[in-house]
Amino acid sequence: MSIYPVPLKKWYSKKDDPENHRILKIMAKYDTCKECGGKIDLRRAWGHHSLPWGYGDFWCSRKCLNKK
């Protein structure tokens, strides 16, 4: 597993990885951006590769990711 943040749309696409995409969608509904506290939109969100297994953080965009 990667410890580096990745673009979630590319890593967990609905077509290629439907189960993990579904898990991330549920997590994003209840979580907020680590940097700004904003809502998570999976089309723009970044996060740790290990998020579907319960480890890591969400960022709402690359802009917030780069602020860390």
Q: Residues 17-41: pLDDT tens digits?
A: 999 999 999 999 999 999 999 999 9
The pLDDT score that the predictor gives to residue 54 is 87
Helix spans in the chain (H): 8-11, 18-30, 62-67
Helix (H, G, I), strand (E, B) or coil at 24: helix
pLDDT in tens, 41-68: 999 999 998 999 989 999 999 999 998 6
First to last CA, the chain: 21
pTM of the model: 0.87
- Are 53 and 9 within 8 A, CB to CB? no
Is the pLDDT at 13 greater than 60? The verdict is yes
